[in-house]
Amino acid sequence: MIDVAIVGTGPVGAVAANLCGVHGLSAIAFEREHQVYDLPRAAVVYDDVQRILHGAGVLDAVLPTTSEMAGAEFLDASGKRIIGFDIPPGLRTANGYPPVLSINQPLLEQAIRSGLGSHPGVELRLGQEVVEFEQMPDHIELLVRDPASGATRRESARWLIGCDGATSGVRKLAAIAWRNLGYDCDWLVVDLELHRDVGLSQLCQQVCDADRPTTVLPLAGKLRRWEFQLKPGETVDEMQSHERVWSLLGRWLSPGDGVVLRAVVYRFHATIAETFRQRRLFLAGDAAHQTPPFQGQGLCTGIRDVGNLIWKLAMVRRGQATDNLLDSYTAERRPLAVAMVEHSTRTGQLIDAYAAMARGGAAPPVELQQYAYGGSQRLPDLAAGFLVPEGGDWVGRAVPQTRVLSPRGDGLLDDVVGPRWALVGRDDPRGLLGLEMRRLLEDLDVVAVTVPEPEGAMLGLLLAHQVVLVRPDRLVYGVAAATEVEALVRRLYEQFRSLDRVGLSRD
């Protein structure tokens, strides 16, 4: 019996499968289609997601398919900036990566899938779909069908992850409710490959035109995307016609400048599943949430899902934690996904509000303006779940990437620690622990590391706190002064075995 069955191997499912291999879990990823979908969809990956891809062992393969983004802005119809920001070339965030990379999704998917061959316990099965499943006390029974031949067979797995998109069959079979958060709007999405440089901006632009709000987005390489909001009465057929597409693009280029790869009307949605866990079943990516595209966070939110989940499955599989640890998946990821959906929805509403202002309406409310590119509204950090409550400002945030020393070797924190917990200090944190606590660290496979020359964000963190306990997903679990380190380690050890203490409910 395998550990994890994954349904759907778009980017989220493929990252989940790679993470299973990294964490020592056996997995089979089932995919109905035989080939990667050959048109771009998702547009960008953020720095924290690049960090997850590195942890999954696929970032090096992905990077050649990407381009660093130069910034983003809101414009009026004349092209004047309303608000925005520029990213200095070469900038790296505290995570250690460029703030945003534009992508070519088909190439990105192929690169992520290529990593699966390095994990002996992970298998990709193309042309296979999971059509039924039944949850047992200690596993899930799957009915798998070959759509071409109609042949079926049964498989068993300890857990099932549905990464099969917004129309998720896994979610529907589990009868998990799908909640609409109140944003539905039709847009024409046009993807184009340029034949030559026509001087287009390298920034993501939201053109708040009184006549028709429009998004203009540079993708990786020679790919560009336009999104045009439909007006009342406009039909799908007329908007997707060759003549209408090029009439809309005419503001930027002529037919000889590029070839249209796709011109499709989509309804942008803001939706979320009522729970991300049902016993041995989990939802991730668009199967768990749909996000309007205005922040480019749909794919990223899904990769964050599996970055949160897989290490927890591995700790339960190894017997280091009780099954209750898995309840923290919904408790942690669903509120952040809701926040992301709502943030993107507000950005879409702000585009409409600026367009209405251009038609003579009032200026958008100040609180709505905060959701613009470069605005003051930020996404929340993890505030509840498997962490030390009220543990300070750093708890629930990503630990900065930095160079460290450890008995395992020296190098960047993520490379030295790998798929493990880390106890981080300016001096060797093991010196603050007695023999019993050191043994607890070994039992939990926690790597103690030293930061001899902290800089930037890490310097600020270690000036405020002598020791930092970091989860495998690089979020800070807790912080401690020298006299509190043993209590912090003991709390982690006990929490793994008595997870009712964190107040998480089970489905």
Mean pLDDT, residues 167-192 taken together: 94
- Both tokens of 125, joined, read 């099965």
Spatial contact of 342 and 507, defined as CB atoms under 8 Å apart:
no
At 100, give phi and psi (nearest 5°).
-145, 135
Does the pLDDT at position 499 exceed 90? no
* Alpha helical stretches, state H, 56-162: 59-62, 105-114
Return d(Cα 253, Cα 257) in angstroms, integer.
6
Mean pLDDT, residues 147-170 taken together: 96
Does the pLDDT at position 505 exceed 70? no
| Residue 483 burial (10 A CB sphere; 0-12, 13-18, 19+) | exposed
Q: How do residues 398-444 score in pLDDT, each as one tens digit?
A: 999 999 999 888 999 999 999 999 999 999 999 999 999 999 898 88
Return d(Cα 95, Cα 55) in angstroms, integer.
12
pLDDT range class, residue 504, cuts 50, 70, 90: very low
* pLDDT given at position 503: 37
Amino acid of residue 433: L
Number of Cβ within 10 Å of residue 295's Cβ equals 24
Mean pLDDT, residues 24-51 taken together: 95
* pLDDT given at position 491: 92
- φ/ψ region of 425 (left if φ > 0, alpha if ψ in -120 to 50, else beta) reads beta
* pLDDT given at position 67: 95
Mean pLDDT, residues 80-100 taken together: 96
Q: How do residues 344-396 score in pLDDT, each as one tens digit?
A: 999 999 999 999 999 999 999 999 999 999 999 999 999 999 999 877 889 99
Convert 423-446 into a string of H (helix), E (strand) and C (coil).
EEECCCHHHHCCHHHHHHHHHCCE
* pLDDT given at position 418: 96
* Alpha helical stretches, state H, 127-173: 169-173
Does the pLDDT at position 506 exceed 70? no
At 151, give phi and psi (nearest 5°).
-70, 145
pLDDT range class, residue 39, cuts 50, 70, 90: confident
Half-sphere exposure of 10 (CA within 13 A, CB side): 23
Return d(Cα 375, Cα 369) in angstroms, integer.
7
- Both tokens of 226, joined, read 């336009």
- Both tokens of 48, joined, read 């924290």
pTM: predicted TM-score of the whole model, two decimal places: 0.95
If one compares 378 and 161, the residue with the highest pLDDT of the two is 161
- Both tokens of 189, joined, read 């999405």
Spatial contact of 285 and 308, defined as CB atoms under 8 Å apart:
no
